[in-house]
Amino acid sequence: MDTLLLARLQFATTTSIHFLFVIVTLGLVALLVYLQTAWFITRKPEYERLTRFWGTLYVINYVLGIATGIVMEFQFGLNWSGLSRYVGNVFGAPLAIETLVAFFLESTFLGMWIFGWHRLRRGVHLALLWGVALTAYASAFWVMVANSFLQNPVGYEVRDGVAHLTDFSALLTNPTLGMAFGHVVAAALLTGGVLMAGVSSWHLIRRTPDYALFRRSLRIGLVTATTATIFVMGFGFAQLGPVSSVQPTKYGDNAAREATVAQWTAQFGPGDYTPPVLANVGLGFMILIGFALFWGILLLPLLYRDWIIRLRFPLYLMLLAVPLPFVAAILGWLAREIGRQPWAAYGLLKVEDAVSPVSGGVMLTSFIGFTLLLGALAVTNWVLMARHAHRGPHDLALGQPPRSPGNISERPDNHPAPILAG
């Protein structure tokens, strides 16, 4: 059994599944901020119900997403000790900041938001959700800082066979960071918008009694998705230039690619320094999906007088489009990661030198175990989200008013108790 191949397959599986949770988290939290802010300003009950409904889906995805993140950390430590040993002093710095942001600040804010309904002043409760969103995007930023170092190692020097961080600002100005982070953020908003529009379409197709509610979320989701698509494509194409300048073997011209390969051959010895064709294939399909979703902009005029609902076929289109952002996200991530092969840190550390010195049997056992665990978490997540999405905004635990004998707050869910202004 090829230990290196198994380690790479495990890394691809782990990061791809975890990334699906991440883009849903980032996409939904931004939409939640909009919904609760609108509720805070307008005091319309429909915004409260939408916040509670989509907040329930968000919490489900967030909790199980943390579990997949823990699994990913384990596979890093078990399978890539060479990477940790050689570039851990540099690569680990932004990841340490991300851990503090994600697991301390973000989780604390989210916990207070979940249990703060009807206990905190409305303004404080809204501020907590803004805190969740800001720390979530800060967390994504630091992950991209770490990943960008692997794409283009900067701000370090090698001493005693180990890379040491010498210029932290260089990590923040890495050419492979800015446009890539913008691309990820836009992709997350696109995913959240498509998911909201798709679920709303499902309820409108079924002629839900909550017509006004899902009419509102359909509009929000569609506008978010179509706007985000423009930024996804803009940031995506904009990063090709910076990436090709620092990774000639990925997107550079033939002359730059040949010169780089010749330099590496002289420095590291003969080898295959050309990225697999699979990277460009995945990139091509991702671009095709992006163009397909871009045509969703033609649905915007149909919002006029609810033609998008009256015609019905656009509702089916939006429902069928739900998987597309997830497929595109995986293809894009794989293109970014596979495109730098055979390097773990581009031009600095080969993948074969980054893998842990373990037997094929141990690696196979690890791969099967982690894959089954991640698969179970992913299936559980989507089953729970689908079940709650199908049920609709009724009998939601999130934000339920406190119940006590004779309490006036004890009323049906579709007539939520008022909240005192803060």
> Tens place of pLDDT for every residue, the chain, 422 residues?
688 889 999 998 999 999 999 999 999 999 999 999 999 999 999 999 999 999 999 999 999 999 888 888 888 778 899 999 999 999 989 998 998 887 789 999 999 999 999 999 999 999 999 999 999 999 999 999 999 999 999 999 999 889 999 999 999 999 999 999 999 999 999 999 999 999 999 999 998 889 999 999 999 999 999 999 999 999 999 998 899 899 998 887 888 888 999 999 999 888 888 888 878 888 899 999 999 999 999 999 999 999 999 999 999 999 999 999 999 999 998 888 888 889 999 999 999 999 999 888 989 998 999 899 999 999 999 999 999 999 999 888 898 887 755 444 444 444 443 333 33
Between the alpha carbon of residue 299 and those of residues 195, 221, 337, the distances in Å are 16, 12, 34
Look at residue 418 in the predicted model and tell me its pLDDT: 36
Q: Determine contact, residues 173/288, Cβ cutoff 8 Å.
A: no
DSSP conformation class of 295: G
Look at residue 407 in the predicted model and tell me its pLDDT: 47
Q: Determine contact, residues 18/72, Cβ cutoff 8 Å.
A: yes
Cα 323 to Cα 300: distance, rounded to the nearest angstrom:
20
> What is the sign, positive or negative, of the torsion defined by CA atoms of 25, 280, 334, 369?
positive
What's the topology of domain 175-246+276-334?
Four Helix Bundle (Hemerythrin (Met), subunit A) (1.20.120)
H-helix or E-strand spanning residue 159: strand 156-159
Look at residue 39 in the predicted model and tell me its pLDDT: 97
Cα 228 to Cα 58: distance, rounded to the nearest angstrom:
19
Q: How many helices (H) and strands (E) does the chain have?
A: 17, 4
Look at residue 417 in the predicted model and tell me its pLDDT: 38
* Structure-token match 């998911």, residue found: 195
Cα 259 to Cα 249: distance, rounded to the nearest angstrom:
10
How big is the chain by its Cα radius of gyration, in Å? 23
Question: For the chain, how many residues are written?
Answer: 422
What secondary structure, in 3-state letters, does 86-105 show?
HHHHHHHHHHHHHHHHHHHH
Cα 343 to Cα 341: distance, rounded to the nearest angstrom:
5
Q: Residue 254, Cβ neighbours under 10 Å: how many?
A: 8
Look at residue 1 in the predicted model and tell me its pLDDT: 67
Look at residue 416 in the predicted model and tell me its pLDDT: 42
Cα 251 to Cα 115: distance, rounded to the nearest angstrom:
49
Q: Give the SS3 label for residue 16.
A: helix
Look at residue 414 in the predicted model and tell me its pLDDT: 44
Q: Which amino acid is at 306?
A: D
Q: Give me the half-sphere count of Cα atoms (radius 13 Å) on the Cβ side of residue 119.
A: 12
- Residue 156 β-bridge partners: 165
Look at residue 404 in the predicted model and tell me its pLDDT: 58
Cα 338 to Cα 332: distance, rounded to the nearest angstrom:
10
Look at residue 411 in the predicted model and tell me its pLDDT: 42
Q: Angle of helix 211-238 relative to helix 277-294, nearest 10 degrees?
A: 140
Reading the block at residue 219, the tokens are 């509009």
Does pTM surpass 0.95?
no
H-helix or E-strand spanning residue 156: strand 156-159
Q: Angle of helix 122-151 relative to helix 81-100, nearest 10 degrees?
A: 160
